[in-house]
Structure 1
Amino acid sequence: MSYDHMLLPSGVAATPAEVDAYFATQEGRAETSAVAALAAELNNRNTELPEADSFLSAPVGGVPYGAALHIASPYDAIGFVRNLVFELATPRNYAVYDPQLAWLIDPAGHIPVTVTHGGAGEFPYLTETLAHFWIRELADPNPYLIVEREPQVYIQTYRNSAQDFTLEYRDGTPDRHFTTQVTGADTVAELIWDWTRRNHDRLGRLSWEHLEM
């Protein structure tokens, strides 16, 4: 059994239903040069490794699927493959679709930061759309999201209940670590996106308390 990632051009879909519709339009179409280049790089990286360390379930590309690319990997290689897929896809303006989670991660308007999602791991950028989507969907057992600009410079949230969130930010040293309570997933998403964009206007109007570690 394999874990799938799908690549498609940025902007061609906004919802899982639109992703499926787009994939349907690509069936039978000649592989594009962009997809051929992505597939070649993935296959080359895979063949450079010993067979026991292979991260692809099968070679990718070489099929008439237009501007889309299907990547299947063993479950124990999910994290490695995800990181590699973003490394190769983002500079080429390609979005990543995870059909298991029904998540579309599109780089349009992205800011490079390290995002740690409590339920799904690490991602290399944030967009306003992803901030809202991910925070609305935070759920047990790990309902948190961390956005890190550099070591010890981050903002994070933890969902306490349907509407209640703890929001924290740290600006380097322990004496610059603050916490507050915020109501509403969309409000939290807007504040985190503001921080990511280095806009602290709304953040500065909140009542912050120093967090004793």
Structure 2
Amino acid sequence: MSYEYVVVPAGVVASAVEVPSYFRSQQGRPVDDDLRIVVLTGLAAWNATIPASRRHAAVRIEAAGAAVRVTAADDLDRRRSRGSAVDYAAGPVRQLLEDLITGFDYEIYDGQQRTLTPAPEFRVVDVDIGGERSYRSMTKTQVFSWIPKLAELASTPFLIVSRADDRETFIQTYRDAPTNYTLEIHDSAHTDHFFAAAFSDPRLVAQMIWEWANDDWSTLDRVEWIREGK
């Protein structure tokens, strides 16, 4: 028996059953910087401190693209150690991963339990970045990271956040220039128009998108929106 954990970006899959296929889809891609610098370094340090008498507690690390898979303690290892390698290492390794991703927008898949632990403060929405990246949830950290980098994330620098149960209710932005963002809001109850406005501050755009995802209109209601035809 073995344990398996997979670290994936928050919202990139809708449920735990999609994690194995997502991990396979990352094969051949360079490892994301946050995973390489933080998670892989932490896991390597774990392996380096395992004493010779507890080698069954060392983990096998597979990393590609935006995912890291950690496995260890198979049947052979456990028989050799005459004890439960799973009981010894699974909990501490899970805690290690949780500590490593604190402050980053990643989720942990538990292969034994077939569960996916979401990132803190996530919102269930559909996210489309330039038609090239999609997510099933979003955190505040993510949206504040995405907006200034839209031109790097997709060849067509737009981002759409829509209600998971209503794709015609959404907020979207297009990066016309480094300091020029068009923000639009559409509600399925009003099928004939958009409300649009232009902004120069990417952090303000990100803040309004996050507030919209929280059904908070305290900033949005102060905007001088232009009504546009669909």
> TM class by shorter-chain length?
0.5 to 0.7
User: Match for residue 197 of structure 2?
Assistant: 180
Say if 2:168 and 2:187, in contact at 8 Å, map to a contact too. Answer: yes
Instruction: Return the offset for 1:182.
Output: 1.1
Comparing 157-166 and 19-28, the one that deviates more: 19-28
Say if 1:166 and 1:180, in contact at 8 Å, map to a contact too. Answer: yes
Q: How many residues align?
A: 152
Per-residue Cα deviation, 1:167-188 (whole angstroms, up to 9, x for no partner): 0010113235211101111111
Quickly say closer, same or farther: Cα 1:201–1:91, change in 2 above 3 A: farther
5+ long unaligned stretches in structure 1: 1-5, 33-59, 70-84, 95-106
2: distance between equivalents of 1:190 and 1:108? 17
Aligned residue for 1:130, secondary structure, equals: helix
User: Match for residue 159 of structure 1?
Assistant: 175
Question: How large is the RMSD of aligned CA atoms in angstroms?
Answer: 3.7
User: Match for residue 30 of structure 1?
Assistant: 57
Quickly say closer, same or farther: Cα 1:174–1:110, change in 2 above 3 A: same
User: Match for residue 147 of structure 1?
Assistant: 161
The one of 72, 76, 85 equivalent to 1:63 is 72
Instruction: Return the offset for 1:208.
Output: 0.7
Comparing 139-148 and 155-164, the one that deviates more: 139-148
TM-score normalized with structure 1 length: 0.59
Instruction: Return the offset for 1:92.
Output: 3.1
Say if 1:132 and 1:190, in contact at 8 Å, map to a contact too. Answer: yes
TM-score normalized with structure 2 length: 0.55
Q: Structure 2: which amino acid aligns with 1:148?
A: S
Instruction: From the CA coordinates, give the structure whose radius of gyration is larger.
Output: 2
User: Match for residue 40 of structure 2?
Assistant: 20
1:115 aligns with 2:127: yes
The one of 92, 96, 108 equivalent to 2:116 is 92
Say if 1:9 and 1:93, in contact at 8 Å, map to a contact too. Answer: no
Quickly say closer, same or farther: Cα 1:142–1:30, change in 2 above 3 A: farther
